[in-house]
Structure 1
Protein backbone atom coordinates (compact mmCIF):
# COMPACT_ATOMS: atom_id res chain seq x y z
CA UNK A 1 0.00 0.00 0.00
CA UNK A 2 1.76 3.10 -1.25
CA UNK A 3 1.25 6.28 0.77
CA UNK A 4 1.27 9.70 -0.83
CA UNK A 5 2.95 12.05 1.66
CA UNK A 6 1.77 15.30 0.06
CA UNK A 7 -1.71 15.09 1.68
CA UNK A 8 -0.04 14.80 5.10
CA UNK A 9 1.88 18.05 4.57
CA UNK A 10 -1.17 19.73 3.04
CA UNK A 11 -3.58 18.63 5.77
CA UNK A 12 -1.17 19.85 8.45
CA UNK A 13 -1.77 23.34 7.05
CA UNK A 14 -5.47 22.98 7.90
CA UNK A 15 -4.78 23.83 11.55
CA UNK A 16 -3.36 27.19 10.50
CA UNK A 17 -5.96 27.97 7.83
CA UNK A 18 -8.97 27.11 9.99
CA UNK A 19 -7.36 28.91 12.92
CA UNK A 20 -7.00 32.13 10.93
CA UNK A 21 -10.70 31.94 10.09
CA UNK A 22 -12.12 30.49 13.35
CA UNK A 23 -10.25 32.85 15.67
CA UNK A 24 -10.78 35.92 13.47
CA UNK A 25 -12.53 38.72 15.40
CA UNK A 26 -15.43 38.52 12.94
CA UNK A 27 -16.01 34.84 13.77
CA UNK A 28 -15.11 33.67 17.32
CA UNK A 29 -11.93 35.68 17.96
CA UNK A 30 -13.45 38.48 20.02
CA UNK A 31 -15.33 36.10 22.31
CA UNK A 32 -12.33 33.76 22.56
CA UNK A 33 -9.99 36.64 23.53
CA UNK A 34 -12.39 37.74 26.26
CA UNK A 35 -13.03 34.21 27.56
CA UNK A 36 -9.30 33.40 27.53
CA UNK A 37 -8.60 36.49 29.61
CA UNK A 38 -6.36 37.99 26.94
CA UNK A 39 -6.21 41.31 25.13
CA UNK A 40 -5.47 42.01 21.46
CA UNK A 41 -2.29 43.77 22.60
CA UNK A 42 -1.14 40.72 24.57
CA UNK A 43 -1.60 38.54 21.48
CA UNK A 44 0.80 40.71 19.50
CA UNK A 45 3.64 39.61 21.79
CA UNK A 46 5.39 36.36 21.07
CA UNK A 47 7.56 34.83 18.41
CA UNK A 48 5.05 34.13 15.64
CA UNK A 49 7.55 32.16 13.54
CA UNK A 50 8.10 29.84 16.51
CA UNK A 51 4.37 29.59 17.22
CA UNK A 52 3.37 28.86 13.62
CA UNK A 53 6.38 26.60 13.03
CA UNK A 54 5.69 24.45 16.08
CA UNK A 55 1.99 24.42 15.25
CA UNK A 56 2.82 22.96 11.84
CA UNK A 57 5.16 20.34 13.34
CA UNK A 58 2.54 19.32 15.92
CA UNK A 59 -0.05 19.20 13.13
CA UNK A 60 2.15 16.79 11.19
CA UNK A 61 2.19 14.59 14.27
CA UNK A 62 -1.62 14.67 14.32
CA UNK A 63 -1.76 13.59 10.65
CA UNK A 64 0.12 10.39 11.49
CA UNK A 65 -2.50 9.36 14.04
CA UNK A 66 -5.37 10.45 11.80
CA UNK A 67 -4.07 8.26 9.01
CA UNK A 68 -4.25 5.24 11.32
CA UNK A 69 -7.79 6.20 12.34
CA UNK A 70 -9.10 6.92 8.85
CA UNK A 71 -7.29 4.47 6.57
CA UNK A 72 -8.44 1.02 7.61
CA UNK A 73 -6.08 -0.76 5.23
CA UNK A 74 -3.22 0.32 7.51
CA UNK A 75 -4.38 -2.33 9.97
CA UNK A 76 -4.19 -5.02 7.31
CA UNK A 77 -0.67 -3.93 6.36
CA UNK A 78 0.29 -4.00 10.01
CA UNK A 79 -1.00 -7.55 10.34
CA UNK A 80 1.61 -8.80 7.88
CA UNK A 81 4.44 -6.91 9.58
CA UNK A 82 4.33 -3.60 7.77
CA UNK A 83 5.40 -2.44 4.30
CA UNK A 84 8.78 -4.24 4.31
CA UNK A 85 7.04 -7.62 4.61
CA UNK A 86 4.19 -7.16 2.13
CA UNK A 87 6.12 -9.04 -0.57
CA UNK A 88 6.40 -12.10 1.69
CA UNK A 89 2.79 -12.03 2.89
CA UNK A 90 0.48 -14.96 2.24
CA UNK A 91 -1.57 -14.92 -0.96
CA UNK A 92 -4.69 -14.22 1.09
CA UNK A 93 -3.29 -10.76 1.90
CA UNK A 94 -2.91 -9.91 -1.79
CA UNK A 95 -6.45 -11.16 -2.42
CA UNK A 96 -7.78 -9.09 0.48
CA UNK A 97 -6.02 -5.95 -0.74
CA UNK A 98 -7.24 -6.58 -4.31
CA UNK A 99 -10.82 -6.72 -3.01
CA UNK A 100 -10.67 -4.05 -0.28
CA UNK A 101 -7.50 -2.03 -0.89
CA UNK A 102 -9.41 1.13 -1.77
CA UNK A 103 -12.57 0.52 0.27
CA UNK A 104 -13.66 3.51 2.35
CA UNK A 105 -10.88 5.71 0.97
CA UNK A 106 -13.07 8.78 0.48
CA UNK A 107 -13.12 12.30 1.84
CA UNK A 108 -16.52 11.63 3.37
CA UNK A 109 -15.31 8.57 5.28
CA UNK A 110 -12.16 10.30 6.52
CA UNK A 111 -14.16 13.37 7.53
CA UNK A 112 -16.49 11.14 9.56
CA UNK A 113 -13.57 9.62 11.45
CA UNK A 114 -11.97 13.04 11.90
CA UNK A 115 -15.25 14.37 13.30
CA UNK A 116 -15.55 11.42 15.67
CA UNK A 117 -11.94 11.99 16.78
CA UNK A 118 -12.70 15.63 17.50
CA UNK A 119 -15.94 14.90 19.33
CA UNK A 120 -14.76 11.95 21.40
CA UNK A 121 -11.06 12.77 21.85
CA UNK A 122 -10.35 16.51 21.48
CA UNK A 123 -13.54 17.77 23.16
CA UNK A 124 -13.10 15.70 26.34
CA UNK A 125 -9.42 16.66 26.63
CA UNK A 126 -10.15 20.36 26.17
CA UNK A 127 -13.14 20.19 28.50
CA UNK A 128 -11.09 18.53 31.26
CA UNK A 129 -8.35 21.15 30.92
CA UNK A 130 -10.90 23.96 30.78
CA UNK A 131 -12.70 22.75 33.88
CA UNK A 132 -9.51 22.61 35.92
CA UNK A 133 -8.38 25.99 34.53
CA UNK A 134 -11.79 27.41 35.53
CA UNK A 135 -12.52 28.45 31.95
CA UNK A 136 -16.04 29.11 30.71
CA UNK A 137 -18.01 26.71 28.56
CA UNK A 138 -17.87 29.33 25.80
CA UNK A 139 -14.09 29.08 25.85
CA UNK A 140 -14.15 25.29 25.91
CA UNK A 141 -16.70 25.00 23.11
CA UNK A 142 -14.96 27.55 20.88
CA UNK A 143 -11.69 25.61 21.13
CA UNK A 144 -13.39 22.22 20.83
CA UNK A 145 -15.39 23.41 17.82
CA UNK A 146 -12.18 24.50 16.16
CA UNK A 147 -10.60 21.07 16.70
CA UNK A 148 -13.70 19.18 15.61
CA UNK A 149 -13.80 21.15 12.35
CA UNK A 150 -10.03 20.92 11.86
CA UNK A 151 -9.85 17.16 12.49
CA UNK A 152 -12.86 16.62 10.22
CA UNK A 153 -11.12 18.38 7.33
CA UNK A 154 -7.74 16.78 8.03
CA UNK A 155 -9.27 13.29 8.23
CA UNK A 156 -11.07 13.80 4.94
CA UNK A 157 -7.96 14.93 3.11
CA UNK A 158 -5.77 12.16 4.51
CA UNK A 159 -8.26 9.39 3.85
CA UNK A 160 -9.09 10.46 0.32
CA UNK A 161 -5.66 11.42 -0.96
CA UNK A 162 -2.88 9.77 1.11
Structure 2
Protein backbone atom coordinates (compact mmCIF):
# COMPACT_ATOMS: atom_id res chain seq x y z
CA UNK A 1 0.00 0.00 0.00
CA UNK A 2 1.69 3.13 -1.26
CA UNK A 3 1.03 6.48 0.39
CA UNK A 4 0.34 9.49 -1.84
CA UNK A 5 2.21 12.20 0.04
CA UNK A 6 1.18 14.87 -2.45
CA UNK A 7 -2.45 14.17 -1.55
CA UNK A 8 -1.64 14.37 2.17
CA UNK A 9 0.10 17.72 1.78
CA UNK A 10 -2.91 18.94 -0.21
CA UNK A 11 -5.38 17.65 2.39
CA UNK A 12 -3.63 19.69 5.07
CA UNK A 13 -4.83 22.85 3.29
CA UNK A 14 -8.49 21.89 3.78
CA UNK A 15 -8.78 23.28 7.36
CA UNK A 16 -7.46 26.63 6.13
CA UNK A 17 -9.93 26.76 3.23
CA UNK A 18 -12.91 25.61 5.28
CA UNK A 19 -11.89 27.97 8.10
CA UNK A 20 -11.77 30.88 5.65
CA UNK A 21 -15.38 30.12 4.70
CA UNK A 22 -16.70 28.94 8.11
CA UNK A 23 -15.31 31.83 10.17
CA UNK A 24 -16.06 34.48 7.54
CA UNK A 25 -18.37 37.25 8.83
CA UNK A 26 -20.94 36.22 6.21
CA UNK A 27 -21.21 32.72 7.74
CA UNK A 28 -20.34 32.09 11.41
CA UNK A 29 -17.55 34.65 11.84
CA UNK A 30 -19.62 37.38 13.43
CA UNK A 31 -21.16 34.97 15.94
CA UNK A 32 -17.74 33.43 16.64
CA UNK A 33 -16.20 36.87 17.27
CA UNK A 34 -19.07 37.83 19.59
CA UNK A 35 -18.82 34.55 21.54
CA UNK A 36 -15.07 35.13 22.03
CA UNK A 37 -15.37 38.86 22.72
CA UNK A 38 -13.08 39.59 19.75
CA UNK A 39 -13.09 42.71 17.66
CA UNK A 40 -11.94 42.94 14.06
CA UNK A 41 -9.02 45.10 15.21
CA UNK A 42 -7.87 42.48 17.75
CA UNK A 43 -7.94 39.76 15.10
CA UNK A 44 -5.77 41.80 12.76
CA UNK A 45 -3.03 42.07 15.42
CA UNK A 46 -2.20 38.36 15.25
CA UNK A 47 0.93 36.99 13.57
CA UNK A 48 -0.74 35.47 10.50
CA UNK A 49 2.40 33.66 9.30
CA UNK A 50 2.66 31.89 12.65
CA UNK A 51 -1.08 31.17 12.85
CA UNK A 52 -1.42 29.81 9.30
CA UNK A 53 1.94 28.04 9.39
CA UNK A 54 1.20 26.19 12.61
CA UNK A 55 -2.33 25.47 11.44
CA UNK A 56 -0.84 23.74 8.40
CA UNK A 57 1.60 21.74 10.57
CA UNK A 58 -1.20 20.68 12.93
CA UNK A 59 -3.33 19.78 9.91
CA UNK A 60 -0.54 17.54 8.61
CA UNK A 61 -0.54 15.81 11.98
CA UNK A 62 -4.31 15.29 11.70
CA UNK A 63 -3.89 13.70 8.26
CA UNK A 64 -1.76 10.98 9.79
CA UNK A 65 -4.46 9.83 12.21
CA UNK A 66 -7.16 10.26 9.57
CA UNK A 67 -5.29 7.79 7.37
CA UNK A 68 -5.68 5.19 10.11
CA UNK A 69 -9.36 6.06 10.60
CA UNK A 70 -10.34 6.06 6.94
CA UNK A 71 -8.06 3.56 5.18
CA UNK A 72 -8.79 0.16 6.67
CA UNK A 73 -5.92 -1.47 4.79
CA UNK A 74 -3.49 0.46 7.00
CA UNK A 75 -4.56 -1.84 9.84
CA UNK A 76 -3.59 -4.86 7.76
CA UNK A 77 -0.24 -3.28 6.93
CA UNK A 78 0.28 -2.59 10.63
CA UNK A 79 -0.39 -6.23 11.46
CA UNK A 80 2.69 -7.32 9.49
CA UNK A 81 4.92 -4.69 11.06
CA UNK A 82 4.38 -1.73 8.78
CA UNK A 83 5.90 -0.83 5.41
CA UNK A 84 9.45 -1.96 6.28
CA UNK A 85 8.17 -5.51 6.89
CA UNK A 86 5.93 -5.89 3.83
CA UNK A 87 8.59 -7.81 1.92
CA UNK A 88 8.72 -10.38 4.73
CA UNK A 89 4.94 -10.79 5.04
CA UNK A 90 3.41 -14.21 4.52
CA UNK A 91 1.82 -15.01 1.15
CA UNK A 92 -1.60 -14.80 2.76
CA UNK A 93 -1.04 -11.07 3.27
CA UNK A 94 -0.37 -10.53 -0.44
CA UNK A 95 -3.49 -12.56 -1.27
CA UNK A 96 -5.55 -10.53 1.21
CA UNK A 97 -4.31 -7.24 -0.24
CA UNK A 98 -4.95 -8.47 -3.78
CA UNK A 99 -8.55 -9.21 -2.83
CA UNK A 100 -9.25 -6.28 -0.51
CA UNK A 101 -6.49 -3.72 -1.13
CA UNK A 102 -8.88 -1.17 -2.59
CA UNK A 103 -12.05 -2.05 -0.67
CA UNK A 104 -13.86 0.96 0.79
CA UNK A 105 -11.35 3.40 -0.74
CA UNK A 106 -13.91 6.01 -1.74
CA UNK A 107 -14.50 9.65 -0.92
CA UNK A 108 -17.90 8.80 0.56
CA UNK A 109 -16.46 6.18 2.92
CA UNK A 110 -13.66 8.47 4.05
CA UNK A 111 -16.05 11.37 4.55
CA UNK A 112 -18.24 9.20 6.75
CA UNK A 113 -15.31 8.21 8.95
CA UNK A 114 -14.02 11.78 9.03
CA UNK A 115 -17.43 13.06 10.09
CA UNK A 116 -17.68 10.35 12.75
CA UNK A 117 -14.25 11.42 14.02
CA UNK A 118 -15.53 14.97 14.28
CA UNK A 119 -18.73 13.90 16.02
CA UNK A 120 -17.23 11.40 18.46
CA UNK A 121 -13.78 12.91 19.00
CA UNK A 122 -13.68 16.63 18.20
CA UNK A 123 -17.13 17.50 19.62
CA UNK A 124 -16.46 15.89 23.03
CA UNK A 125 -13.05 17.57 23.33
CA UNK A 126 -14.35 20.97 22.29
CA UNK A 127 -17.43 20.47 24.46
CA UNK A 128 -15.41 19.58 27.56
CA UNK A 129 -13.07 22.54 27.08
CA UNK A 130 -16.00 24.85 26.36
CA UNK A 131 -17.87 23.78 29.49
CA UNK A 132 -14.87 24.34 31.75
CA UNK A 133 -14.08 27.66 30.06
CA UNK A 134 -17.74 28.68 30.55
CA UNK A 135 -18.24 29.13 26.82
CA UNK A 136 -21.67 29.15 25.24
CA UNK A 137 -23.25 26.31 23.30
CA UNK A 138 -22.99 28.53 20.23
CA UNK A 139 -19.23 28.59 20.68
CA UNK A 140 -19.09 24.80 21.12
CA UNK A 141 -21.31 24.04 18.12
CA UNK A 142 -19.56 26.53 15.83
CA UNK A 143 -16.19 24.90 16.49
CA UNK A 144 -17.50 21.33 16.52
CA UNK A 145 -19.42 21.93 13.30
CA UNK A 146 -16.27 23.28 11.69
CA UNK A 147 -14.35 20.14 12.63
CA UNK A 148 -17.11 17.78 11.54
CA UNK A 149 -17.21 19.38 8.08
CA UNK A 150 -13.43 19.72 7.87
CA UNK A 151 -12.67 16.16 8.97
CA UNK A 152 -15.34 14.79 6.63
CA UNK A 153 -13.70 16.55 3.68
CA UNK A 154 -10.19 15.59 4.80
CA UNK A 155 -11.20 11.98 5.40
CA UNK A 156 -12.90 11.77 2.03
CA UNK A 157 -9.88 13.02 0.12
CA UNK A 158 -7.46 10.87 2.13
CA UNK A 159 -9.50 7.72 1.63
CA UNK A 160 -10.00 8.27 -2.10
CA UNK A 161 -6.58 9.62 -3.06
CA UNK A 162 -3.88 9.04 -0.42
- Say which SS state the counterpart of residue 105 (structure 1) adopts: coil
Number of residue pairs the alignment of both structures matches: 162
Equivalent residue number for residue 73 of structure 1: 73
Q: Tell me, in whole angstroms, the C-alpha distance in 2 between the residues paired with 1:9 and 1:115.
A: 20
Aligned partners of 1:50 and 1:84: how far apart in 2? 35
Secondary structure at the residue paired with 2:66?
A: helix
For 1:63 and 1:159, the matched residues in 2 are separated by 11
Counterpart Cα distance in 2 of 1:131 and 1:23? 21
- Post-superposition shift, 1:155? 0.2
- Secondary structure of 2:134's counterpart equals coil
The structural deviation recorded for 1:46 is: 1.3
Match for residue 23 of structure 1? 23
Poorly superposed stretches of 4+, deviation over 3 Å: none
1-structure distance, mates of 2:73, 2:103:
8
TM score, norm. by length of structure 1: 0.99
1:129: Cα distance to partner? 0.4
Shift of residue 55, structure 1, vs aligned partner = 0.3
> Could you tell me how far apart the structure 1 residues matched to 2:121 and 2:41 are?
32
- 5+ residue gaps in structure 1? none
> Per-residue displacement from partner, 1:73-123 (whole Å, max 9, x unpaired)?
001011111111111111100100000000000000000000000000000
Stretches of structure 2 that go unaligned for 5 or more consecutive residues are: none
* 1:70 Cα deviation after fit: 0.4
Aligned position for 1:85:
85
TM-score (norm 2): 0.99
Q: Shift in Å at residue 157 of structure 1?
A: 0.4
For the aligned residues, what is the CA RMSD? 0.5
**Structure 1 residue 26, shift from structure 2 partner:** 0.4
Separation in 1 of the partners of 2:14 and 2:24?
15
1:114-146 superposed Cα distances (whole Å, 9 cap, x missing partner): 000000000000000000111100011001100
